[in-house]
Chain A
């Protein structure tokens, strides 16, 4: 717990300390915004993006980032009422996909290889996971009921 708090405080210090967020912090934020757009079912206006971010930055920062993403071509926008709604562009880059696949094939990303992607579940594991999934879904339903 202490560890965690330390980390959060460091992260806060990093973002608060700079008026102009550092290059790295900005890049991270950009990817977070892109993730929000990518995960969403529908195009989002800046206010909705801001709500979905953890440690939300200022509204104007979100606007700036969305604008940059759109200019870079990784997001598109269309008018919704008085604001623009943004949507992630599914990258069709064959080159990038090829590198990404080669990484899996070569086992460079051991995390993906050993723990996730190609790991084949035994029958016992599958049954256990199905049970845990039901439990998690029930938990989500209860959370939604409360919210």
Chain B
């Protein structure tokens, strides 16, 4: 337990450090799956590790010790986790819990609109009267056809082939259930805020995936020009939002469409998967050794 319980956090740092690289240097169809999968695995492993650390403090509460039939002072002597680490873990869990509730409250508020939109307009293209050029796809109910939302501005900014590329992009999101990957990434970020960059990397990979599908049907130059033209038209029309984040990913996506057709870096993919697997294995070992320690404490009382 002494080391294994901390390994998921190391894996988490490694995962975050390499997420951007994985998203940008590998085939997005693969990296979206690997990033979403390893992200949720890392989130699960760190949550479990935090719980184990927190338990080492909770087990010293007399009431809990009585219930578990071990002595609180023996826990202090035998468990190789300093008191302050366990207390810090409890603080983290509370903070994460509060933050996660807020995240899901925002999600739930949008969910009602998304469900109604999909139930009433499934399989359709809905136009919103906005001058900005944008489009998005909505499919929260995986077994019903999704909705594509387009702005009126898209019609004026782009020519027919570029519009077709935008719609092909959105259809790719719907056809490949990208909404579910996003939900997994959202849960990842909520369980462990340190993994937020991973969540963003999943988002980037999903966009690249859809970009590649649009490029396959309309051509790379057309897909790239549609993306760039829409993005360039936006800043003047849309007020800055609190949700807007720093570095834009659009130039990177356009560049990938123009210069970098299909990067393949199997080593990056494999190491991301191995990293997440190791985190899971480490936390399972930590849990096992914790169990052994408390088993021994229980026996020593009798």
Contacts and interface: CB of A to CB of B under 8 A. Distances in A.
A52 B164 contact: yes
Contacts of B238: 117-118, 120
B254 interface: yes
Nearest to B229: A133
Interface stretch (B57-65, B76-84, B131-139, B273-281): B131-139
Nearest to A101: B128
Interface residues of B, number: 88
A1 B262 contact: yes
A116 B136 contact: yes
Contacts of B144: 27
Contacts, number: 230
A111 B201 CA distance: 11
Contacts of A101: 128
B145 A27 contact: yes
B243 A113 contact: yes
27 contacts: A7-B29, A28-B145, A28-B175, A30-B123, A31-B125, A31-B145, A31-B146, A31-B148, A31-B174, A39-B160, A54-B216, A90-B152, A93-B126, A103-B110, A103-B113, A108-B106, A109-B110, A113-B241, A120-B235, A121-B250, A125-B247, A126-B235, A130-B228, A132-B254, A133-B254, A136-B222, A136-B224
Interface of B: 27, 29-30, 106-107, 109-111, 113-114, 116-117, 120-129, 132, 134, 136-138, 143-150, 152, 159-161, 163-164, 166-168, 171, 173-175, 178, 182, 186, 200, 203-204, 206-207, 216-217, 219-222, 224-225, 228-232, 234-235, 238, 240-241, 243-245, 247-251, 254-255, 257-258, 262, 264
Interface of A: 1, 3-4, 7, 24, 27-28, 30-32, 34-36, 38-41, 52, 54, 74, 88, 90-91, 93, 95-97, 99-104, 106-122, 125-126, 128-130, 132-133, 135-137, 139-140, 143
